[in-house]
Amino acid sequence: MTQIAPVPAAPADGPVPAGPPAGRSGSGNRTLTYLRYVAGKLLGAVVSLLAVLVTSFFLFRLIPGDPVTQMTRGRPISQEQLDALRIEFGLDLPVWQQFLDYCGNVLTGDFGTSYQFRAPVMDKIGEAVLPTLLLTFTAFVIYTALGIFLGTRSAWRHNSRGDKVNTGLALVLFSVPSFWLGLLAIIILANGVGPLPGLFPTGGMETGEEGLDHVLDVAHHMVLPVLTLVAVDYGQTLLVTRSALLDEMGSDYLTTARAKGLRDDQVRTRHAVPNALLPTMTLIFVNLGRTVAGVILVETVFSWPGLGSLFYQALSVPDLPLVQGLFFFFAATMIVANMLADLIYPLLDPRVGNQ
């Protein structure tokens, strides 16, 4: 005879109350996990910035030569005046004392006073940051759009002649040093070759025009440095987009979409490309920080009055406060860009967020 299991009796104090809905609990756990993740990334960024602060102070003091001697080279100046300048700049103090003073000032937002410009470091950075952002953001928008477009076409036409040309050109340009490509652009497009005249200025940002002519003049001066940055940087975006889309092309959901009668362009634009762009979205933030931090050589070659040219001028002295401030700014840009990429990716890809 089959035994029927007894039904457990309810507790004496009444039925057990129902717990919170599973969905709400899971959502709360994911939010808490993400907040812990954000806190960890913020802590890591702060530690990295502190490491950069220490590194920037001691690294540039390894540069041979005395900043005061370099600044006064070729000028009639007495030893008493040299000693007075060293006292003014704080170079007469022990290195450990200079470091403690520097850290204390940085905590208040004071990166010191430039030796050669006799102006606060933050003021000099503020003057040069807008030309740099104008140059880098313009190049960033162009090479990101170009890389995504060409990477998508190359992946969808895998192993075609166009794919091979795009991939090969991207690999070559990505491997070329930016300063060499900039010099080549000046030789061919600014100075002219043979009977061909020069089409663009060799350097600078403007020639003193006003109104609409000023805008057109700045745009004219931007062409070669922007072209150089685009040529060097678009290849990485193209290759990452192409690789990610190739990984998606064999997925079952694309086969299902085709079976439902969707056209090839609809399958590509509605399903394949959005999923393939997840790695590219992370790369976009990293590239933005890298472009700002890596613009030194391009700005120097084209005499663009931005942070890169300012860093080169400061390094040639060496103007220690200005070099340290610019180095910290470039490093902070990279650290913040990488942190943003890490924080945004889990929001774009729930699979990562659930982990």
Q: Residue 75: pLDDT above 80?
A: no
Rounded Cα distance, 241 and 252, in Å: 20
What is the mean pLDDT of the segment spanning 244-268? 82
Cβ 298 vs Cβ 349: under 8 Å: no
Q: What integer best gives the mean pLDDT of the chain? A: 83
Residue 93 near residue 300 (C-beta atoms within 8 A): no
Query: Ranked by mean pLDDT, which of 125-129, 178-182, 186-190, 242-246 comes out on top?
Result: 125-129
Tens digits of residue pLDDT in 180-204: 998 998 888 887 776 666 788 877 7
Instruction: Output the furthest CA–CA distance in the chain (Å, rounded).
Output: 117
Per-residue pLDDT, 2: 47
Task: Quote the pTM value.
Answer: 0.80
Q: What is the pLDDT of residues 289-316, one digit of tens each?
A: 888 877 888 999 999 999 999 999 998 8
Architecture in CATH for domain 127-318: Orthogonal Bundle (1.10)
Higher-confidence residue: 2 or 234?
234
Distance CA 307, CA 324 (A): 13
Is the distance from CB of 155 to CB of 249 less than 8 angstroms? yes
Work out the average pLDDT over 263-285.
Answer: 81
How far is 67 from 120, CA to CA, in rounded Å?
Answer: 17
| Token output for 264 | 């090839």
Q: Domain boundaries in the chain? A: 127-318
Which single residue is written with the structure tokens 């109104």?
Answer: 211
Residue 264 CB neighbour total at 10 angstroms: 10
**71 CB neighbour count, 10 Å cutoff:** 17
